[in-house]
């Protein structure tokens, strides 16, 4: 499809933006036509999200101009942008799980009867009709939290549409979805395009980008590198431009078959039997050996995230046992789990780091008791932090710097460094590479392999097949809360994993 002729719907020119002296966007031009699906790719920190936040009215002070239908606009808020027909669907859904589907669709603008009461019947009927017109068949009265994630996401998109959006920005919409859900989502996007809506689609999943977009724009280091028609583009072309030259072999390493290499002779460090927790997971029995990485793969909502939390004493299974180095332990809480030799890195940086505290305090929090039972040892804390900063290549290398000023990838390293001073017996990593760029992913893979070689047992839990494939020596696949398959010492590929899940 070519959009050369008509006037663009959205036109940005010379957009620049910096945060406290750090340039996020440099002189970026960007156009979007009616009925276009425009894919955006780039490593973390390349400027995609910043540009989208400018379009959606979240960032209001920037250089350059924005035109909609040829008219210059300068939004003062996200509400302003929405009024002008620009809606954004964030990676973290902004639905209210306990409210019904209809209430979520109408959030903030419920229709009322003559007497000022909410017009339930009208609201439910309108919501159902609106959703049906988009091919979503669901009872508008059920709480939205009870629906699968994929459906929730489609309803959120429909809400943005319902509020009159002509331009819809989708930030990583597919990361939590299963392949059939992704297909349904793409069907919806195609239908929307037919009706003249435009979409901007940000994703790390290059196959998804190429599968649905008309046009693809690649960002690197705050600059727009290239915009090209998606038809005929190859994934290697995208990767090459995302990370610069010289990385042609990377794509292969992430998609080719991997030979698993289990260690059947090493001693077992972690063993669970029959772990069961409500609807989250059932009857999970697994073993992890010293110097081995056990990958646990499953689509979002398959119970693997809850399992990881249970292994660190945050969730409490109602049945089953956990043994560490052959001794049965009771993981009553996270402190007990830590004492038993467990360590955990959660999937979101927000839930593992203290952004207002300096680097060294973030790294020492788990080991304070080892330095001195009662008192603090700030000099020892700083020394330890200095060591980690050097060995992990954290930038900037200043241990008194507040953590919040670091980039995402560096923050992630700090979260890992927390557990590296005194090695745990078992390290549980939840989605260790989610949302990371290729370079940072490589760093994490190296760190995890280094830890494995030092003899600790590692559990990697993820819904991204690439992550599990690049890290694991043995793989469990979870489906709907149960262990569906185990891959031991054999060739395995993304296809086979997806197949098993």
Partner 1 sequence: MSAQSAASDKTDPPKSSRTMIWLRSRLSNIAPFITLLFLVVFFSIASPSFATLDNVGNILNQISITAIMAVGLTYVILCAEIDLSVASVANATGIVVAYFTLQDSYANIANVPLPGYAAILLALLTCFLLGGVNAFGVTRIGIPSFIMTLAMLQIGAGICAMLVRGQIAYAVPPFIATLGQKALGPIPYVVIVAATFLLVGHLVLQYTRFGRYVYMVGGNREAAEYSGVNVRLVIASVMIISAACSGVAGMVGVAYFGSAQQNEFDSYLLDAISAVVVGGTSLFGGRGGIGNTIVGLLVLGVLNNGLDHINIDSFLKILIRGLILLAALVINIYAQRLRANQMN
Q: Which of 106, 312, 360, 487 binds partner 1 (CB under 8 A)?
A: 312
Among residues 234 and 332, whose Cβ is nearest to partner 1? Answer: 332
> Taking CB under 8 A as the rule, does residue 232 contact partner 1?
no
> Taking CB under 8 A as the rule, does residue 19 contact partner 1?
yes
Residue 415 CA to residue 176 CA, distance in Å, equals 23
* Structure token digits, residue 404: 């919040």
Residue 480 CA to residue 35 CA, distance in Å, equals 37
As measured in angstroms, the least distance from the Cβ of 372 to partner 1 is 7
> Taking CB under 8 A as the rule, does residue 33 contact partner 1?
no
* CB-based burial label for 177 (10 Å; 0-12, 13-18, 19+): buried
* Total site size for partner 1, rule CB under 8 A: 41
> Taking CB under 8 A as the rule, does residue 404 contact partner 1?
yes
Q: Which of 74, 328, 351, 489 binds partner 1 (CB under 8 A)?
A: 351
Q: Considering only 204-212, 235-243, 260-268, 366-374, which stretch makes contact with partner 1 by CB under 8 A?
A: 366-374
Cβ atoms of 183 and 173 closer than 8 Å: no
Residue 234 CA to residue 66 CA, distance in Å, equals 31
> Taking CB under 8 A as the rule, does residue 346 contact partner 1?
yes
Among residues 101 and 456, whose Cβ is nearest to partner 1? Answer: 456
Among residues 338 and 382, whose Cβ is nearest to partner 1? Answer: 338
Among residues 86 and 406, whose Cβ is nearest to partner 1? Answer: 406
> Taking CB under 8 A as the rule, does residue 218 contact partner 1?
no
Task: Give, as ranges, the residues between 407 and 436 that touch partner 1 (CB under 8 A).
Answer: 418
Cβ atoms of 99 and 144 closer than 8 Å: yes
Among residues 121 and 339, whose Cβ is nearest to partner 1? Answer: 339
* Structure token digits, residue 371: 């330095």
Q: Which residues contact 356 (CB under 8 A, 6 or more apart)?
A: 402, 403, 404
DSSP 158-217: HHHHHTT-SEEEEESTTTT--HHHHHHHHHHHHHHHHTT-EEEEE-S-HHHHHHH-SEEE
Q: Which residues contact 281 (CB under 8 A, 6 or more apart)?
A: 275, 303, 304, 306, 307, 310, 478, 481, 482
Among residues 114 and 356, whose Cβ is nearest to partner 1? Answer: 356
Site string for partner 1, 315-334 (x = CB under 8 A): ------------------xx
Residue 421: CB atoms within 10 A of its CB come to 18
Residue 101 CA to residue 159 CA, distance in Å, equals 10
> Taking CB under 8 A as the rule, does residue 454 contact partner 1?
no
Residue 284 CA to residue 416 CA, distance in Å, equals 26
Q: Which of 183, 339, 379, 454 binds partner 1 (CB under 8 A)?
A: 339
Q: Which of 127, 202, 353, 483 binds partner 1 (CB under 8 A)?
A: 353
Residue 360 CA to residue 383 CA, distance in Å, equals 9
Task: Give, as ranges, the residues between 383 and 402 that touch partner 1 (CB under 8 A).
Answer: 395-397, 402
Among residues 217 and 411, whose Cβ is nearest to partner 1? Answer: 411
As measured in angstroms, the least distance from the Cβ of 446 to partner 1 is 19
Which positions lie near partner 1, rule CB under 8 A? Answer: 19-22, 312, 314, 333-335, 337-339, 343-346, 350-357, 361, 365-366, 368-369, 372-376, 395-397, 402, 404-405, 418
């Amino acid at each position: 499809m070519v959009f050369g002729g008509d006037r663009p719907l959205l036109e940005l020119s010379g957009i620049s933006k910096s945060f406290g002296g750090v340039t996020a966007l440099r002189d970026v031009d960007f156009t979007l036509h009616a009925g276009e699906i425009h894919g955006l790719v780039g490593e973390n920190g390349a400027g995609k999200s910043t540009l989208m936040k400018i379009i959606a009215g979240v960032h209001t002070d920037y250089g350059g101009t924005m035109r909609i239908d040829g008219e210059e606009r300068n939004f003062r808020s996200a509400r302003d942008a929405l009024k002008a027909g620009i809606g954004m669907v964030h990676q973290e859904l902004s639905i209210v799980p306990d409210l019904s589907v209809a209430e979520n669709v109408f959030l903030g603008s419920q229709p009322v009867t003559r007497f000022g009461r909410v017009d339930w019947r009208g609201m439910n009927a309108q919501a159902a009709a609106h959703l049906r017109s988009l091919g979503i068949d669901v009872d508008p009265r059920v709480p939205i939290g009870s629906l699968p994630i994929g459906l929730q996401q489609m309803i959120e998109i429909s809400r943005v549409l319902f509020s009159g959006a002509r331009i819809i920005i989708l930030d990583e919409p597919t990361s939590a979805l299963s392949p059939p859900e992704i297909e349904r989502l793409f069907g919806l996007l195609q239908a929307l395009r037919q009706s003249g809506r435009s979409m901007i689609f940000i994703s790390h999943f290059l196959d998804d980008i190429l599968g649905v977009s008309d046009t693809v724009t690649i960002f690197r280091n705050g600059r727009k590198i290239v915009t090209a028609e998606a038809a005929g583009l190859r994934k290697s072309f995208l990767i090459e431009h995302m990370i610069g030259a010289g990385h042609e072999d990377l794509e292969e390493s992430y998609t080719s078959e991997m030979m698993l290499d289990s260690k059947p002779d090493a001693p077992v460090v972690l063993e669970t039997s029959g772990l069961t927790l409500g609807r989250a997971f059932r009857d999970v029995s697994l073993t992890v050996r010293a110097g081995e990485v056990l990958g646990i793969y499953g689509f979002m909502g398959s119970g693997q995230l809850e399992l990881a939390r249970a292994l660190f004493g945050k969730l409490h299974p109602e049945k089953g046992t956990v043994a560490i180095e052959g001794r049965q332990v009771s993981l009553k809480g996270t402190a007990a789990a830590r004492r038993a030799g467990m360590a955990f890195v959660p999937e979101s940086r927000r839930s593992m780091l203290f952004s207002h505290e300096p680097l060294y305090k973030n790294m020492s929090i788990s080991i304070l008791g080892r330095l001195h039972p009662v008192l603090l040892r700030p000099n020892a804390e700083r020394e330890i932090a200095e060591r980690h900063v050097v060995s992990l290549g954290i930038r900037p290398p200043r241990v008194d710097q507040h953590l919040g000023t670091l980039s995402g990838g560096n923050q992630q390293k700090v979260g890992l460094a927390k557990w590296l001073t005194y090695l745990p017996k078992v390290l549980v990593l939840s989605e260790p590479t989610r949302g990371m760029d290729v370079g940072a992913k490589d760093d994490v893979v190296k760190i995890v392999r280094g830890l494995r070689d030092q003899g600790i047992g590692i559990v990697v839990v993820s819904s991204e097949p690439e992550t599990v494939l690049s890290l694991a020596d043995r793989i469990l696949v979870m489906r709907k809360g149960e262990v569906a398959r185990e891959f031991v010492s054999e060739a395995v590929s993304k296809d086979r994993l997806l197949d098993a899940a």
